[in-house]
Amino acid sequence: MHARADTAASWPEEIFSILQRFEVRQVPYVPDAGHSQLIERVLGSSSMRGIALTTEEEGVALLAGAWAGGQRGVLLMQSSGVGNCINMLSLVQIFRLPFLTLVTMRGEWGEFNPWQVPMGSNTQGILELSGIKVLRASHPEEVREVVEAGAAQAYNACTPTAVLLSQRLIGAKVFTK
């Protein structure tokens, strides 16, 4: 187990480059510490629009509208947010969306907060039951190729895909008084 590092990791930058290459335009998100570097990058970008949501299911619906309007998007959320999306994930199958979500994981790998564990343990199962292919990156050096593969199959083959960014990769959140 390792705690979250204070220094900036390079993999969020690699994800940003991949999203640029795939011409992603709309990036809905509910903030998560594990996504903070990528969110900052998106908000500072001229080609992507970061869209803060009140709940993750809004992002699924937003991406359906974006696709109808000719734009690609990616939903950034934490594992607990996957639970908030369940019914709205119907749209992904119904519209055959080129759906891509990047999910930072909680409730695993050295978790401190037991409240994160039930949803974190069910995240992959819920996504798969909802018809979404799940890929996972656990080490910094594999993030680029996993996200690239996820983006390629989502956007080129309309195969809905979630990439789980493991807590082992992000580092467990440290709770101090």
Q: Which C-beta is closer to other proteins: that of 154 or that of 172? A: 154
Among 31, 65, 110, 118, binds other proteins (CB under 8 A): 65
Rg of the chain over all Cα atoms, to the nearest angstrom: 15
- For residues 144 and 15, give the distance between their C-alpha atoms in angstroms, rounded to a whole number: 6
Q: Which of residues 2-31 bind other proteins (CB under 8 A)?
A: 25-26
Count of residues in contact with other proteins, rule CB under 8 A: 35
Among 10, 17, 36, 55, binds other proteins (CB under 8 A): 55
> Do residues 131 and 158 lie in contact, with contact meaning Cβ atoms separated by under 8 Å?
no
> Is residue 88 within the footprint of other proteins (CB under 8 A)?
yes
Cα dist. 2→111, 113, 129, 172 in Å? 10, 15, 31, 7
> Is residue 1 within the footprint of other proteins (CB under 8 A)?
no
**Residue with structure tokens 């401190």?**
112
Residue 115 CB, nearest distance to other proteins (Å)?
22
Q: Which of residues 96-115 bind other proteins (CB under 8 A)?
A: 96, 98
Q: Which C-beta is closer to other proteins: that of 62 or that of 100? A: 62
Q: What is the DSSP string of 140-168?
A: HHHHHHHHHHHHHHHHHH---EEEEE-HH
> Is residue 68 within the footprint of other proteins (CB under 8 A)?
yes
